[in-house]
Amino acid sequence: NAGVTQTPKFQVLKTGQSMTLQCAQDMNHEYMSWYRQDPGMGLRLIHYSVGAGITDQGEVPNGYNVSRSTTEDFPLRLLSAAPSQTSVYFCASSYGQAYNEQFFGPGTRLTVL
């Protein structure tokens, strides 16, 4: 099993550009989520999905869109990049219940100039 994979690992964007961060998992997990990690702030939930076709907003959803057309894939779209979106982005997946371990991808380091 590859686990949770994310692409790209690094990305530099100019303000106003759009892009999609890719996330895939091969563990047949129902639950998938996107976090951003900023120094001193821990992880903040952007969007999450409890199954194919179902998504919901987390703590910091503004400026991001998601979709979940398959169980495996959960892409995160930045609509119009802003410097405030410079961060490290992590995708995670788990079986649905709250007590289950979340498995994390290696992260995408995004810089917006």
Partner 1 sequence: AQSVTQLDSQVPVFEEAPVELRCNYSSSVSVYLFWYVQYPNQGLQLLLKYLSGSTLVKGINGFEAEFNKSQTSFHLRKPSVHISDTAEYFCAVSGKSNYQLIWGAGTKLIIKP
- Kindly tell me which of 48 and 64 has the beta carbon lying closer to partner 1: 48
DSSP secondary structure letter of residue 101: P
**Strands 19-25, 76-78: pairing kind:** antiparallel
- Kindly tell me which of 10 and 14 has the beta carbon lying closer to partner 1: 10
Torsions phi, psi for 23 (to 5 deg): -140, 135
Cis peptide leading into residue 83 (ω within 30°):
no
- Kindly tell me which of 16 and 106 has the beta carbon lying closer to partner 1: 106
Asked if 41 touches partner 1 (CB under 8 A), the answer is yes
Q: Which two tokens stand for residue 91?
A: 């995708």
Could you tell me if 108 and 9 are in contact, meaning their C-beta atoms sit under 8 angstroms apart? yes
- Choosing from 34, 48, 64, 74, the residue that interacts with partner 1 (CB under 8 A) is 48
- Choosing from 31, 34, 64, 74, the residue that interacts with partner 1 (CB under 8 A) is 31
Interface with partner 1 (CB under 8 A): 4, 31, 33, 40-45, 48, 50, 58, 90, 92, 94, 96-99, 101-102, 104-107
